[in-house]
Amino acid sequence: MNALVPLPVLLPLCVTGLKLAIGPRLHRLQRFISIAVLGAVLVLSVLLMVAADRHGPLSVHLGDFAPPVGITLVADRLAGLMLTVSSAVTLLVLVYSLGQGMADRDDQAPVGVFHPAYLILVAGVSCTFLAGDLVNLYVGFEIMLVASFVLLTIGGTATRIRAGSTYVIISLFSSVLFLVAIAMTYAVAGTVNLAQLAQRLQEVPLGVRTLLEAMLLTVFAIKAAVFPLAAWLPDSYPTAPAPVTAVFAGLLTKVGVYSMLRTQTLLFPGHRLGDLLMLAALASMVVGILGAVAQTDLKRVLSFTLISHIGYMVFGIALAGHGSISGAIVYVAHHITVQTTLFLVAGLIERRDGTTELTRLGGLARAAPLLAVLFFVPAMNLAGIPPLSGFIGKLGLMRAGIDAGGAWAWALVAGSAATSLLTLYVMAKVWNLAFWRDAPPGAEEEGVVLESAEDDEPGDDEGGDEAGGEEEGAAAGPPEPTGSGRAAGSGKAAGSGEPTGSGEPTGSGSDLPVPAGAVVAAGFLGQSITTTRRLPWPMLAATGAAVALGLSYTVLGGPLTTFTQAAATELLARTPYIEAVLGR
């Protein structure tokens, strides 16, 4: 089984090269290859998780070079679980993106740009989960950075370029700090291999060890969007296409949390910065959820709840006890799935109504009951309503805080309870505004422009009619950019004096009439795409599967908790990991 450990990294990278060699013209073959690769990665992840649970951590030294010279990849229970959850989520998001791309007839973006960048992103995520040394962990982060910048700026609109630039600047700063921390670690320990560092750092002077811990925590806190290092997130994620936003919000921040969890338990047991981590966890919870309360755009609401609930995971890492580590692992798996699902639902709402601005939405529970169910279930899961998996994770963390005692632990327990109640309030607010109340006057007929890019025209796709039956109407002139998630316009199509829902052509340059009830939404490339109220079935199916995956954590709550408790025992013991890499 050790030979399978590198495959979740190598398979997406190798297939990306194959796809680039094939070229973007064979659309159906490209889509099939992408789904097949991510399906294979999911199967491999499950096999590694089961093998690590039964036989202990698996390790492989690439090129048969032993540490500290060679690259080591390690799959233990924690890495196996993270690989499995992330592989399942990325596969579902890919199916969702295929439905959106075919319906928008955006061949060049999903196939020529999105798919290679997406597979490289998956390889980077797998590399960070399996990395057995700090340099390989850094390489995984950089692979993700390169791919994520491409994905964030697909379409080249001003809003996306501005948001992507902010993201890249912050990420590059954290990368430079990470390199400095790696260099200092090698200078004092003579190795960057995690198993060897677990032994040698205990002999390093306490002040130097604390400095290294603080630097690594800062790097990972930026990646994980821990307050006060999270200001970049609410303005970066909501501007991207819905599939990109979903996978970024659900998965990429958890890579930072995973790195914190790995290094704090393996390299810095009994760490001195526990109180500082508790303060950061409490601030993330409170500031994040208060920011969500103040928002009126669904994507920004979800972005602030993301920051808030990162605090729960940092809470578990800060306590550093068996129960808190187990609860943090449960909550990471739960939050990856639920947060991704909610952003997928936000994408469906944006596609149907042309906006995610809550003040312009209404009546969705009556007009789109399936969409209402797809939102309601993960929303209640995020709020921690019993017996859903969000409640299981929060209960484990709060029990660990009560058992630990102390002023900070009790403050975190109180903050966790308050954050959970405010999350329920925020989700109820979204439900009341977007789903329960009547639609605002004129909302059904209004055409809304989200984004536009000059000289961009929708492409053709032979599978577009199969994906949702939408008809396309191209405007004669490009509408004014308004940014993602913000409604604009007065209910008239760009370049036309007629309302979008009037059945008249949107402009003299189009031969197709706009269907009644249609809205103008943003495709992958940022151009204006006219879509109907009917949602593409692949997007609905992928979102429904994500909801089911989140519910499976509740159904399998007993086995999941048992598994995470074993993973926490393994992490705190450290010996199984060290022996798997270095031998007895």
Residue range 464-492, pLDDT digits in tens: 333 333 333 333 333 333 333 333 333 33
Whether a cis peptide bond, with omega within 30° of 0, leads into 68 is yes
Q: What is the pLDDT of residues 163-220, one digit of tens each?
A: 778 888 888 899 999 999 999 999 998 899 999 999 898 888 888 999 999 999 999 9
The chain-wide mean pLDDT, for the chain, equals 80
Report the range of poorest mean pLDDT among 1-10, 318-327, 356-365, 510-519: 510-519
Question: Looking at residue 7, what is its pLDDT?
Answer: 92
Which range (130-139, 243-252, 304-313, 339-348) has the least confidence? 243-252
How confident is the model at residue 480, as a pLDDT?
A: 39
Higher pLDDT, 68 or 459: 68
In angstroms, the Cα distances linking 316 to 259, 265, 282, 433, 518 are 14, 11, 11, 34, 47
Q: What is the mean pLDDT of residues 143-156?
A: 82
Percent of the chain residues past pLDDT 90, beyond the cut: 43
181-197 tens-digit pLDDT: 999 999 998 899 999 99
Cβ atoms 144, 255 nearer than 8 A: yes
pLDDT at 238 over 80: no
Q: What is the pLDDT of residues 404-429, one digit of tens each?
A: 888 888 999 999 999 999 999 999 99
pLDDT at 503 (0 to 100): 36
Q: Omega before 241 cis (within 30°)?
A: no
Question: Which pLDDT belongs to residue 568?
Answer: 93
Question: Distance of CA 525 to CAs 173, 240, 245, 458, 518, Å?
Answer: 28, 10, 15, 8, 19
- In this prediction, residue 21 has a pLDDT band, given cuts at 50, 70 and 90, of low
- The total of other beta-carbon atoms located within 10 Å of residue 335's CB is 29
Instruction: State the burial class of residue 559 (Cβ atoms within 10 Å of its Cβ: 0-12, 13-18, 19+).
Output: exposed
What pLDDT is stored for residue 43 in this prediction? 95
Residue 21 buriedness (CB in 10 A; 0-12 / 13-18 / 19+)? exposed
The pLDDT tens digits for 506-523 are 333 333 333 333 344 445
Contact 141, 178 (CB under 8 A): yes
Give percent of the chain above pLDDT 70. 80
What is the average per-residue pLDDT within 141-159? Answer: 82
Helix, strand, coil distribution of the chain in percent, nearest 5: 70, 5, 25
Rounded average pLDDT over 304-323: 91
Q: What are phi and psi of 181, to 5 degrees?
A: -65, -40
**What is the per-residue pLDDT for 217?**
92
Instruction: Indicate if the pLDDT at residue 449 is higher than 70.
Output: no
Interior/surface letters 441-452, b for 16+ CB within 10 angstroms, e for the rest: eebbebbbbbbb
Whether residue 532 is predicted with pLDDT greater than 70 in this model: the reply is no
Q: Which stretch of DSSP H or E encloses residue 60?
A: strand 58-61
Q: Which residue has the tokens 């969007």?
A: 225
**Angle of the 369-383 helix axis to the 537-555 helix axis, nearest 10:** 30
DSSP single-letter state for residue 502: G
Backbone dihedral region for residue 12 (phi beyond 0: left; psi -120 to 50: alpha; all else: beta): alpha
Residue 443: pLDDT band (50, 70, 90) is low
pLDDT in tens, 80-113: 999 999 999 999 999 998 877 665 565 545 556 7
pLDDT in tens, 250-280: 888 899 999 999 999 999 887 678 888 999 9
pLDDT at 289: 94
